[in-house]
Amino acid sequence: MTNGVGTGPVNPGTSGQRTVDVGGSLAYSASIMGTIRAKEFLKIDKRSPVPRHVQLQDGIKRMIVANGLKRGDRIPPERRLMTEAQVSRNTVREAVAQLMLQGILVREKVKGTFVKKVPALSLEQTRRFGIALVAASPEAEREIRTPHSLYSMILTGFSDEARAANTVTLLFTVSPSRPDEDLPVTDLDALLVVGHVTNEMMERLSGKVRHVVAVTDYPLASSFNLVRVDARHGACEATRYILNRGIHEVSLVTGDPARFPGAAELIAGCRQAFAEAGASKDIDVRIRTDEHTGYDITRELLAARTGRFGIVAAGGPVIRRVLHALAEHGPEADERVLAVGYVEGDVAAAVEQYPVTLVGASLELCGQRACRVLQDLIEGRATPPVDARVLPAVISDKSDAGRVPNA
């Protein structure tokens, strides 16, 4: 056996392939690249929050299995992968490099890139999970698909968990009025629904896909599979954090319970913390009409109160308004007010410049939990309906531990 693609003898057991000796440890065969189906497996969703090189890794794995490639078969060259997937050379190289680290591919200088180990993936057995993004308008769809948005964090967590389980994930947008008709495929094993979800939508989608789960804070019927951040627990943790520092004047800035679905849970959580502490007072509930009201409420509290007090605010936009009002009062406000934000999602980076302690749960964890719920439903480890709660905790502590607060 001689080295080099052009001089190696034809292996009688593999018609159309030439055996290539690459150093004695492995014998690779150079397949005729034109016979490999690639394009159908290398489709990249450029609007997805999942990085393109990660999508391409999954596509190459499916391409290897679907074409029946074996150890030693050469995959299409870099330029063809770029063309079929419509991505840059850097994206292809990153995907190939990661597959080399996983031991699936090996690259030989000049000769090409070869299959070192066939992925543990069977297209017949691979699960197909769909992610339905509910968007009422193009603007809403852009918001959902924006990188680092709350929704994109859910999708990232879900996709990461699905890849770890060798599950193919399909991402698409559906309208609130006809979500079942907008599904591009009908043979999904399970479906994640993200966005402004309603009972009617869940009912219609459940008629098309057997296992459906929604990650949402909207109040849905108990007959559906749900994954959500436990709002009551989060508000309780935020209030408890303030009370444990000897501050018993605490105000909650929240929406009207009649209009804001999670307001009642937030109020109940704050009151639970007061009851546990045996405090004689109750939470001071300040109803906001919109996110801008947090600014006005904070200014009113600063003017009306003389001692130290705490503020619990829910949601990134509201927290920023509260902190904007505190910043206008300078160091004096920082000494008087302990602000704790309860957030459904890890937005610590958004308020990093402010002296706020955040209590919340990463929405990536919600996405991961949703994927595991669907797997449990499929495999019979869970019985529907499932109501999975993700418990918030302190994720960013900005308090001054050395300062003794006034009672």
Least confident range from 10-14, 35-39, 380-384: namely 10-14
Helix (H) or strand (E) holding 233: helix 231-243
In this prediction, residue 67 carries a pLDDT of 76
For the entire predicted model, the pTM comes to: 0.62
What is the longest distance spanned by two Cα atoms in the chain? 91
In this prediction, residue 391 carries a pLDDT of 87
Burial of 275 (0-12, 13-18, 19+ CB in 10 A): exposed
DSSP string, 194-217: EES--HHHHHHHHTT-SEEEEE-S
**Torsion, CA 156, CA 160, CA 161, CA 163, rounded to 10:** 140
Both tokens of residue 217? 């804070």
For residues 37 and 66, is the Cβ–Cβ distance under 8 A? yes
Q: Provide the β-strand partners of residue 105.
A: 115
For residues 195 and 134, is the Cβ–Cβ distance under 8 A? yes
DSSP string, 243-263: HTTT---EEEEEE-TTT-TTH
Local structure of residue 292 (DSSP, 8 states): T
Parallel, antiparallel, or unpaired for β 357-360 and 393-396?
antiparallel
For residues 30 and 74, is the Cβ–Cβ distance under 8 A? yes
Q: Is the pLDDT of residue 6 over 90?
A: no
Q: At what angle do helices 231-243 and 263-277 cross, to 10 degrees?
A: 40
Which amino acid makes up residue 10?
A: V
The pLDDT confidence band at residue 264, using thresholds 50, 70 and 90, is confident
The pLDDT confidence band at residue 138, using thresholds 50, 70 and 90, is confident
Residue 182: helix, strand or coil by DSSP?
coil
Structural domains of the chain, ranges and CATH numbers in brackets: 33-115 (1.10.10.10), 128-230+365-390 (3.40.50.2300), 231-360 (3.40.50.2300)
